[in-house]
Structure 1
């Protein structure tokens, strides 16, 4: 099928694949999957990808390549985000991905990441604008404010669930002092953002941290994309869920089926980013979306856009 595309997004914590068709002007999902690879393991401290992290990524790429071949994809785009921007050994990453998928990764900027996330989350959305799309990743958080007429402001902040956990968290459960250090880092960057947060009318939270917080807040017996997509959470829901995620033990979080095992140790820091952000906004609720940068990349392919 000539309009079938494959988008791959490799972040600090996970690598994801979306295969989609363009049908009557709409993006129709054919296959979507995610693997936790923790590419950003140790990057904040060493400035390089760990060999075992690269192995996990390459294994996932081989699996994705098989799916892509079986689905008859015509075009592929592979984007890599925060963890891959400044590492010393990214040539090894490039070569390993290209060998398996036949396409060279694009290391996109924080601005590009924000724009793709915004496009993926807001296309066909009917809620009051301006929208603030918050993409909380493992290594960075993208904030982008805009409407159907275009972007107003966007910024990439160096706060993410993996980065903050590796930097500050060593105890189980997390100590008050460690939580305070995480909050201090989050607030310092949120206070300095150039995005006019006060103009927000609708907050759309995307990516694994937000969807996991939603699944826990909703009390889902297992992770359910359909239940999470466009879930409506009050700021009180976010605060209550974050309080539990940041004070529970690793074993307690592991016992919750809706939390992916690869997020158990970092979800507390990610949830804190979401909660501290909502505290600064003139809203009392938010919408969680399963559509994010991955969908934005797919749209760029079917529209022939960069």
Structure 2
């Protein structure tokens, strides 16, 4: 089935849009954009969206709606993930999005989020199976083990770059005590995951944390999507980059042009999630992909 589709993914830290032509089960990209909105600001502590966070996401959604209308999109899905699952005022969010975009956002489960990330990340990849896809977001981390036949096991963990930063970080640079607390939170959930991590023969890391870590590891003068997509980071590169991101000052990170300003304060916690995960696996590198849940949502419209 052919046609022009739009997918919107509203996460804890960012809202993203993909417009693509769906041709014979594959996507031909027309437009892809992202805005940092920090929708999950304070959610871990308050259990509700902050009014200023809602205003930011509504403004971005209005901008996306105009782009979608101009592109002549035939079918669309708007999905919301971790932050929207956790809050008491989710209907304010849903009503505001529907008013601006014209469709009611789907607050998808962690399991569906994981499966959509897997589909988006692994289309057209040739990897030794089974392979693990990890999507480290602002509020949650998805782990999906699968192969060409689909998902074998999946789980959404309540650890993310924004959640852990807000929960533990108060100093600049992050103190050793704070890093230890973040590490404990990560390890507790990785210890308990029902996804059999030891079976993974390859790892694909997707979404903003992983792509930002890759850009820093590659010493890119500015963010370059083409250079990041399908970049392979060795375990040593990942460890060295994570060490710098978690021990540097905010000003030092802000001076690195490949780090989006909206990720400067949370990228250290996100990188640490990825490193702690890879340390448990029998792999010597990580494949980073620009294709993720957004692509999976678009493919689901076929």
TM-score bucket of the superposed structures, by smaller chain: over 0.9
Tell me the equivalent position of 2:5.
Answer: 5
Give, in angstroms, the shift of residue 26 of structure 1.
2.0
Instruction: State how far apart, in whole Å, the 2-side matches of 1:251 and 1:105 are.
Output: 36
**1:219-268 superposed Cα distances (whole Å, 9 cap, x missing partner):** 00000000000000001010000000000000000000000000000000
Give, in angstroms, the shift of residue 129 of structure 1.
1.1
* CA RMSD after TM alignment: 1.0
Report the secondary structure of 1:4's partner residue: strand
**1:133-190 superposed Cα distances (whole Å, 9 cap, x missing partner):** 0000000000000001121100010000000000000000000000000000000100
1:252-291 equivalence runs, <5 A: 252-291=252-291
Tell me the equivalent position of 2:150.
Answer: 150
Determine if contact 2:139/2:162 at 8 Å carries over to the other structure. yes
Report the secondary structure of 2:221's partner residue: coil
Tell me the equivalent position of 1:204.
Answer: 204
Unaligned runs of 5+ in 2: none
Moved over 6 A (4+): none
**1:15-36 superposed Cα distances (whole Å, 9 cap, x missing partner):** 0000000234421100000000
Determine if contact 2:161/2:267 at 8 Å carries over to the other structure. yes
Q: TM-score, normalised by structure 2?
A: 0.99
Instruction: State how far apart, in whole Å, the 2-side matches of 1:111 and 1:60 are.
Output: 26
Report the secondary structure of 1:243's partner residue: helix
Tell me the equivalent position of 1:120.
Answer: 120
**1:91-127 superposed Cα distances (whole Å, 9 cap, x missing partner):** 1101110011101000000000000000000011111
Instruction: State how far apart, in whole Å, the 1-side matches of 2:182 and 2:41 are.
Output: 18
1:119-268 equivalence runs, <5 A: 119-268=119-268
Unaligned runs of 5+ in 1: none
Residue 297 (str. 1) matches residue 280 (str. 2): no
Give, in angstroms, the shift of residue 86 of structure 1.
2.3
Residue 27 (str. 1) matches residue 27 (str. 2): yes
Instruction: State how far apart, in whole Å, the 2-side matches of 1:45 and 1:28 are.
Output: 41
Tell me the equivalent position of 2:53.
Answer: 53
Report the secondary structure of 1:301's partner residue: coil
Residue 66 (str. 1) matches residue 46 (str. 2): no
Tell me the equivalent position of 2:77.
Answer: 77
Report the secondary structure of 1:258's partner residue: coil
Instruction: State how far apart, in whole Å, the 2-side matches of 1:288 and 1:206 are.
Output: 6
Determine if contact 2:197/2:281 at 8 Å carries over to the other structure. yes
Give, in angstroms, the shift of residue 2 of structure 1.
6.4
Instruction: State how far apart, in whole Å, the 2-side matches of 1:79 and 1:301 are.
Output: 12
Instruction: State how far apart, in whole Å, the 2-side matches of 1:3 and 1:107 are.
Output: 25
Q: Number of residues paired by the alignment?
A: 302
